[in-house]
Structure 1
Amino acid sequence: MTHTVCIPSSLVREAEDKREATRKVGYVARAATIFNADRVVVFPDRTGERRWGEGFVVTVLRYAATPPHLRQEAWDVRDELEYAGVLPPLRVASQTGSAPDGSESLTQGIVTEVGPEGRVRVTCGLQHPISLHAPDGMEPSEGERVTVRISSREPVRARLVDEPQPGYVVERTDLTEVLGRRDAGVRIATSRHGQPLTVPWLGDLTRDVEADGMTVAFGAPGRGLPDILGIDVDDVGAAAGTAAGAGGKDSPGPGGVEPVADPGFDLWLNTIPRQGSEVVRTEEALFASLACLTLTE
């Protein structure tokens, strides 16, 4: 089960300066972390981009996902990271998490040197880099992030483990490719023109998400998904209305739209049906939408 969040490369199109743009990306990183997103996909919206586009968004998201003790080793000085100090800490639990009995802890490291006989030198937040043996089938390369299980710090006893990286990974690709993946799960487009999310419907929807995962796409400030994809909002509204009436007023139905520009969503969803502001920012929509869609019974 995979949870994927898709945001446009025009995410920070209305930011007044680089500091504000960095902070905005930081809120997206926080939302992805809080709600356990596995992937954050940045899809192209070249028309909507302004001063800071895809490269900026991807770089800041990846930097934010890098554990603090690895950032100096993993990142050179880059223009995109000028205001990285304003990023909120993600505090991914498993980066410093301990085993239930307190005997071991997991942390992230970065490979600084690959030696003979499967040994690698790893920087992982201890006082000095440590030499570890790679497990069978694992061939880490220089600069790669790895997971380290520490059983003792004095003296140091640690080992590399072949376990998934905590937090989210960042990809840059188009929506059609992401929605066509086998692990896409429930494919949701968020829009104020979509079908309003209701309490009776929420139970069925979250059960599907819990079983199959989800891929949720968001628009940009002043430029929603219909605008980005070239879909008439009337088509979205008509599809939502048809879906709502297909099996009772709270039944979602397929919720798709017919235009070729639709990359393959299962439904168009309005997760803030009573919004009191004319504009809901992308990062606000992430928190509102993911809070609903990750509920459990």
Structure 2
Amino acid sequence: MDGLTLLIPSSVVREAEDKREATRKLGYVARAAAVFRADRLCVFPDREGERRWGEAFVRIVLQYAATPPHLKGEVWGKRDELQFAGVLPPLRLSSQTTADSSESAVNQGIVTEVGPEGRVRVTCGLQHPISLTVPPSMATPAEGERVTVRISSREPVRARLVDEPTPGFDVATVNLSAALTDAAGRRIATSRHGQQLSIGRLAEFRPDYRDGLTVAFGAPGRGLPEILGIPPEAISAADAAGRSKPYGLDDDHVDSDPGFDRWLNTIPRQGSETVRTEEAMFASLACLTLTE
């Protein structure tokens, strides 16, 4: 799986004082994913770190933020988790509806149901959701996934799924180890205990990013080492020894690391005692997505 995948814990809003603040924070997380052209924004479980708002709330707000504006009302309606959705900043992605020379419209849709025999139900801005056949060139999309629909007629409705990229990113809940196993390219864990990012170090492994990049972030007051049960001093020791993983590849404790290629401190001159997740996302991705 190539492209840019971002991993955040379900405890990402653990320090929010109320639902409005939690929603606004997730809006900035979604903005970071949009600004840096992420393909996937995945939420992995951190049950011990969750407080009032956990995995379901985080996933729903992020999915709502990623939904094209013309589909938000139809797909989501009114939900308690979206009480303060009005504070979410707009993502302002490229146009969700285009037309080509054949006068057919290309709409972004959301899969609302996966049926039998390679068919899916899609909401795509028409009067009603429509049932479409998944073409052989496409993998069957999951419920909630964005798809591209080419509409040749609205009355009667004639439409088909096409294997074309959609602007924006998909949101899903994942197991961290499974996400890293499926990832292509570099798999980066961000932590102030990791190797300090420098121009030379970035140039060292930057070419690998062409095959894909997965970046994981921690939660406020609860970084990735604590979430994964890895002693911070082990990561620092690995840095001092010139190793990319804590403990070393042959150590019995390597199972504590779910499969990262490298632990990086992407803000080596951190001036604040803590860096918020959304701040770390902007700071880290600005460096890691640099082009040659």
| 1:21-170 aligned within 5 A | 21-93=22-94, 95-96=96-97, 106-110=106-110, 124-125=124-125, 128=127, 136-137=135-136, 146-149=147-150, 160-170=161-171
1:134-165, Cα deviation, whole Å (9 max, x unpaired): 57547899987541346899xx9975423244
Equivalent residue for 1:280? 275
Equivalent residue for 1:268? 263
Q: Distance in 2 between matches of 1:86 and 1:279?
A: 24
Equivalent residue for 2:246? 257
Aligned Cα root-mean-square deviation (Å): 3.4
1:33-86, Cα deviation, whole Å (9 max, x unpaired): 111111111111111100000010011111111111111111132111111111
Q: Distance in 2 between matches of 1:273 and 1:232?
A: 19
2:244 partner letter: G
CA contact (8 A) 1:192 1:273 kept: yes
Q: Distance in 2 between matches of 1:12 and 1:124?
A: 31
Equivalent residue for 2:229? 230
Equivalent residue for 1:209? 209
Counterpart of 1:25 in 2: which secondary structure? helix
Q: Distance in 2 between matches of 1:270 and 1:67?
A: 34
Q: Distance in 2 between matches of 1:34 and 1:148?
A: 24
Equivalent residue for 1:248? none
The question of 1:186 aligning with 2:186 is answered yes
CA contact (8 A) 1:12 1:52 kept: yes
Mark the CA change 1:131 to 1:242 in structure 2 (over 3 Å): closer, same or farther. closer
Q: CA deviation at 1:172?
A: 1.3
Equivalent residue for 1:199? 199
1:162-202, Cα deviation, whole Å (9 max, x unpaired): 32443211221221111111x33211110011111101222
Q: CA deviation at 1:113?
A: 11
Residue segments in structure 2 that go unaligned for 5+ positions in a row: 248-252
CA contact (8 A) 2:75 2:123 kept: no
Q: CA deviation at 1:213?
A: 0.8
Counterpart of 1:191 in 2: which secondary structure? strand
2:196 partner letter: P
CA contact (8 A) 2:119 2:134 kept: no
Mark the CA change 1:102 to 1:289 in structure 2 (over 3 Å): closer, same or farther. farther
1:257 partner letter: P
TM-score (norm 2): 0.83
Q: Distance in 1 between matches of 2:142 and 2:45?
A: 30
Counterpart of 1:166 in 2: which secondary structure? coil
Counterpart of 1:93 in 2: which secondary structure? coil
Range with bigger deviation, 21-30 or 104-113: 104-113
Mark the CA change 1:98 to 1:255 in structure 2 (over 3 Å): closer, same or farther. farther
Mark the CA change 1:111 to 1:235 in structure 2 (over 3 Å): closer, same or farther. closer
1:83-142, Cα deviation, whole Å (9 max, x unpaired): 11111111221524666x89776431357999xxx999975446x569897575478999
